Structure 1
Amino acid sequence: MAEAANVRQNLQNVPSIFEISAAETLDNLIYPALSKIFDYFGLRLDFKLWGSLRVQEELSPLLTWLLQYLYLRKRASSFGESFYGLQRTATETGELLTRRQQFLSATVLTLLPYVERKLRSRSARHEDTSPWEGRLLSAFHAFHAAKAMHTFLYLIKYAASHSPVFRALRLTLRYPSEPPREDQWTYLVLKMLEVLAFFLQFVQWWYSNDQRRKVGGALINPEAMPKKELPDEVQQTMPKRGECPVCLLPVQTPTACSVSGYVFCWKCIVSHMKEHGSCPVTHYPITLEDLVRIYET
């Protein structure tokens, strides 16, 4: 009875799903925005670990974890949750986080999005992935399905938490009954970090793919050199109409490169892009999003 009463009391003091979604969006914004900043300044971990094993990794996950742990330690909430005035408490007792829950919460907040983002990035680039990576990606799909179910139960006031992660940690989100007690320096540091949230949003907007193409403009395609000006040996090796510039065979599964306008075989252009990251003809940088499949009618 006491446990049910505590659950009902917490449910009356928890935020709406829209506030929770906004807090999660802000939390998910930290890592990509920091990655763009660190990539711009070239800040990465790069050292020899053992033998031929070399560590080349970014600093963004580490700094993201430290930031989340700082907020969980000082305010019992993540960066995004603190920004929207939310607080994590124990589902059964309503008490604040223990040291173990603070550590686990910061780890889950950082590790799960990082691993999923890496797996999806490798899959989008059609890189060779091991079977366990495929199973792990399927596990993330199952996790999102379970989270959607928890969200529905949360909306109808049947569950105390909106996520299976919160349920596993026995936590829920609520409005704090009183403002957090913290010294002046801690308050100033955390307030400055919250102000930087707007800067992080701006960085993410600026570097988004759609906006980057609108602001940066399109590359000017080079004009083709007349064949009569080319040496004979070069003219003999040039692809004929309908041939792929890479394999010099009739194009199979025609795919156009939107950066340069040339048409290649799908396998040829994807293989070249993975190895060189550029168009085989113009050498302009390209990604998988720059490849357009051509369907003949």
Structure 2
Amino acid sequence: MEFFNDVGSDPLKPSLFELVAQEQLRDLLQPALKYVLSVFAQRYPRYLLRIVNRHEEFYAFIMFFVERHFLRTHGASFSENFYGLKRRRRPLIEPERARAAVGGVFREERLRNRDIRKSLVFLIGLPYLRAKAQDYYEELGGGIDPELLEGSEGARQTRALTEETLMGKMRRAFKAIYPWANVTFECWLLLYNILYLFDRTPFHRPWLAWTGIDIRRLGLDDLVSGSALIAGRSQIRRTLLQRIRRLVLTSPRLLLDALKVLLPTAIFFIKFLEWWFSPSSPARALSTSPLGPAVPPPKLLPPHPQSLIPVDRITKFGMCPLCEQPIANATALPSGYVFCYRCAYGHIEQHHSCPVTLLPAQMWQMRKVLV
């Protein structure tokens, strides 16, 4: 990994791997917070159920203050600061000689209030709009077979799309355009990643080029400037009264700074609990159920005497009794026997019964077996 950190002639230019890593960390925060709220909402639904139902708005509201604090204090977003990166106003001409002669962080490169507002739009607003668009697409039944939409919810979605009103036409247009627009957007981001990887552009995202902001590594001058700022603050805190007053005034700021350690730790802890309580976890093998041994599955019904399938074909493990081939897309019938999906579908469509037990069976009674 050290090799990739030193790619190129500019030591402060971050590699594409660092930029992708900080984006992945940012994308993990929302599902982790939603998982925690969902768990607590089961115990306190009166207070948290509305927040879970409006999670995108709640997350955007919280992250607005977090990102705004880190942009003002550290000149970077939360995930960028965690990976030792910063944002700067990109100069028209790189003053390498002036930097070597003078040193320090140029004041012209620091983010202004206008730059912070632009960064917040793309850090908070753009992910929020994409999440809401994806939710609305799924609400319209996007990516789902219409035959699987049963009941009142599916009927409501079908009526909403078949309405000849202006809203119905707009819904159909959105459902048709959204997948292509989403693919185009992802290809656009991939193109910028490739251009950044081959030093064709200093920006790995198009909106950074629009705002004139690029992402850099924290250098020695940044660390010295931060240390000087801390030293200046420590001189102010001389008396106990001033220290208490400073602590009270800066307690929200200290809490936000602590998120740099607390949030990644919480994500790791949540993932650990998810693995520990999963069916494949060793905790399942080491612990015994307080309700006694597991209930064994029911026995298969015996074959019907008039069944056309011989018994030796039924007892072959992993083989479909109808086509005598390895089972493809395993599907179980109410009788408990497993067949290939195509074999079971064709037989039920023609005979409306199980081929082994001759018990009545319908299409909607077929169940996919996850192996």
On whether the aligned pair clears a TM of 0.5, the verdict is yes
Give TM class, smaller chain: 0.5 to 0.7
Give 1:217 deviation, angstroms: 6.0
1:96 alignment counterpart: 111
1:69 alignment counterpart: 68
Give the alignment partner of residue 124 of structure 2, picking from 107, 112, 121.
107
Give yes or no for contact 2:64–2:120 (8 Å, CA) kept in 1.
no
Structure-2 separation of matches of 1:22 and 1:35: 21
Compute the RMSD of aligned alpha carbons: 4.4
Give yes or no for contact 2:196–2:204 (8 Å, CA) kept in 1.
yes
Give 1:148 deviation, angstroms: 1.2
SS in 2 for 1:192: helix
1:194 aligns with 2:292: no
Q: Indicate how the Cα distance of structure 1 residues 157 and 222 shifts in structure 2: closer, same or farther if over 3 A, else same.
A: same
1:161 alignment counterpart: 203
Give 1:69 deviation, angstroms: 2.9
Between Structure 1 and Structure 2, which shows a larger proportion of strand residues? 1
SS in 2 for 1:174: strand
Structure-1 separation of matches of 2:132 and 2:349: 37
Structure-1 separation of matches of 2:207 and 2:64: 17
Q: Indicate how the Cα distance of structure 1 residues 45 and 156 shifts in structure 2: closer, same or farther if over 3 A, else same.
A: same
What amino acid is the match of 1:250?
Answer: I
What amino acid is the match of 2:75?
Answer: A
1:203 aligns with 2:284: no
Give yes or no for contact 1:64–1:110 (8 Å, CA) kept in 2.
no
Between the two proteins, what is the percent identity of the paired residues? 20
2:298 alignment counterpart: 223
1:178 alignment counterpart: 222
Structure-2 separation of matches of 1:101 and 1:86: 18
Q: How many residue pairs get matched?
A: 232
Q: Indicate how the Cα distance of structure 1 residues 69 and 164 shifts in structure 2: closer, same or farther if over 3 A, else same.
A: same
Give 1:62 deviation, angstroms: 3.0
Q: Indicate how the Cα distance of structure 1 residues 201 and 242 shifts in structure 2: closer, same or farther if over 3 A, else same.
A: closer
- Superposition map of 1:1-297 within 5 A: 13-42=12-41, 43-45=48-50, 56-58=53-55, 59-92=58-91, 94-97=109-112, 98=114, 99-108=116-125, 110-111=127-128, 114-115=131-132, 118=135, 123=142, 130-131=171-172, 132-176=174-218, 177-179=221-223, 180=226, 185=251, 188-196=254-262, 197-204=264-271, 206-207=273-274, 212-215=278-281, 222-223=297-298, 250=348, 265=363, 268=364, 291-292=368-369
Kindly provide the CA deviation profile for residues 25-59 of structure 1, in whole angstroms up to 9, marking residues without a partner as x.
Answer: 1100100000000111112327xxxxxxxx94223
Give 1:113 deviation, angstroms: 5.6
* Structure 2: 5+ residue stretches without partners: 1-8, 42-47, 93-108, 150-156, 162-170, 234-249, 286-293, 303-332, 342-346, 351-360
* Structure 1: 5+ residue stretches without partners: 1-9, 47-54, 228-237, 253-262, 271-278, 280-290
Structure-2 separation of matches of 1:56 and 1:108: 19
Between Structure 1 and Structure 2, which shows a larger proportion of helix residues? 2
Structure-1 separation of matches of 2:278 and 2:211: 39
Give 1:193 deviation, angstroms: 0.6
SS in 1 for 2:214: strand
Give 1:225 deviation, angstroms: 9.7
Normalised TM-score (structure 1)? 0.60
Which protein has the larger Cα radius of gyration, Structure 1 or Structure 2? 2
What amino acid is the match of 2:111?
Answer: L
Structure-1 separation of matches of 2:21 and 2:207: 17
**After the TM superposition, which of the residue ranges 129-138 and 118-127 deviates more from structure 2?**
118-127
Give 1:185 deviation, angstroms: 4.4
Kindly provide the CA deviation profile for residues 112-145 of structure 1, in whole angstroms up to 9, marking residues without a partner as x.
Answer: 5634663686646667584314423322221111
